[in-house]
Amino acid sequence: MSRPAERVNTPFALRNYVADEWRIPDSTLPHAVCDANTGEPLFRQARSSPEQVEGAIRSALAAHREGAWTRMGGERRAGLLAVVADALEAVVEDMAVFDALLTGVPIARTRSIARVCPASFRAAAQLALEDTTIRREDSFIVERLPLGPSAIAGPWNAPSGIACHKLASALAAGCPVVFKPSEWAPVSGQIIAGAVAGSGLPPGVFQLLHGTGETFAAIVKDERIAAVSLTGGLRAGRSVAGTCARQMKPAQLELGGNNPLLVLPGADMAAAADGVVAALTTLNGQWCRALGRLIVHESLADELIAATMKRLSALRVGLSTDSATEFGPLGHRARKDAVEAAIRDYRALGGTVHRSTPLPKLGGWFVAPALVTGTHTDSALEEVFGPVATVHTFADIDECVALANRAPYGLAAYVFGETNEAVCVARRIEAGTVKVNAVTLFSPHPSAPRPAWKLSGIGDEGTRETFEFFRGTRVVGVPRGTGA
């Protein structure tokens, strides 16, 4: 197998894109970005200087005020977004390979996520064709207009698709963007930037800055940034929300989740076991909609755990860059350490850890999927963000729903059971998306919104929802009459 760095024409040397020029970031950091499969260091993280941050924001603001993009006709803007989509189509495999290498997610999955990139820009191009005037009356008009320079940060676990969804939405709305990819998986962000930079957008409309959360915090706190969209963890989300609240500017935050999977008495046990495995191992458990708590009827728990262990024992574990791999390593050493620490904590609380997946001897960040029985519900309310879930039993449906709604998060949930009963239970769950008798990586439908409840975030995402997030309403009219 050839090394991804040899077969892709994108070096590990990271570059910012500021004021329509490729520039070297100010400095490198001590942390190395590694091959998740072996632990081999590949390159060091990069950091942008305050001067580089200032240059990017100043360039984005100038583009907004000059108005070449903001006031560009929808047909022409859509055409340029389609050019970006075509450019991204040509580098889907490159993004998939690098994302697999750096995040540990099997390449079969990173390919499906990378394919979101051109699809997002094509969907956004259709939205860009819409008239900004959404209502016209005799005495006033209502317009939806771009808010202004926008800050976007992508996560490390699915770095290509999520970033492109946000970028395409902001650009379609008419907003210049300042984009910071994750420092743990920045290469696909670099590839995306290359596609956008070569598409013929007006000067200053797109900026790329490498760096850590500190870099993004500096971008967010600048009052010239009009809107912020982040997918990340709760701590980063709280920091961004606090800054945006003080400045009264909108923030779209998709954060973590400790998602329940409910197995009702009438469930198909084979389907339920398949669902548990999928919810536990998709993206190697490194996704915000992963299984955190398995809530199963007391009469089914032993059978379900046994069926799940049987499936996990046959899981194909190996190099994330191998198309046959079903489960790979975690994204970096700190993530592996955190997941293993969580398992130790559950054991210390009296939990029994169930594992059956053999691991390869590759030296990377591999952790076997685990179900943990015997822990109290109140000890299992926080997100682990890895292939670990606690198991809790219930005697009746009211208890089941109460257990599901116990956590302070509300991103996703899954219900397995007789369809009508499962739908009824699903409608009682405090979560943005509840899937019935299925676990899937993507939404039930491309047009479905992706809401977040409780600590899981602020503001719905979705094809239209994210597009509208980057627009504000303006009413222009001549008042009638002489009254106050």
Q: Which positions are catalytic?
A: 166, 254, 288, 461
What separation, in Å, do the N-terminal and C-terminal C-alpha atoms of the chain show? Answer: 76
- Determine the angle formed by the axes of helices 419-426 and 397-404, rounding to 10 degrees: 50
* CB-facing half-sphere around the CA of 80: CA atoms within 13 A: 21
Return d(Cα 339, Cα 213) in angstroms, integer.
21
Q: How many CB atoms lie within 10 A of CB 352?
A: 12
C-alpha span between 415 and 397 (Å, rounded) = 12
Residue 294, H or E segment: strand 291-297
> What is the H or E stretch that residue 241 is in?
helix 234-247
User: From the CA atom positions of the chain, what is the Rg in Å?
Assistant: 23
Residue 179: count other Cβ atoms within 10 Å of its Cβ.
27
Pairing state of beta strands 140-146 and 150-153?
Answer: unpaired
Query: H-type helices in 391-438, by residue range?
Result: 397-404, 419-426
Question: What is 47-67 written as a DSSP string?
Answer: E--HHHHHHHHHHHHHHHHH-
Q: Is 285 helix (H, G, I), strand (E, B) or coil?
A: helix
> Please, are residues 121 and 168 in contact by the beta-carbon 8 Å criterion?
yes
User: How does DSSP classify residue 243?
Assistant: H
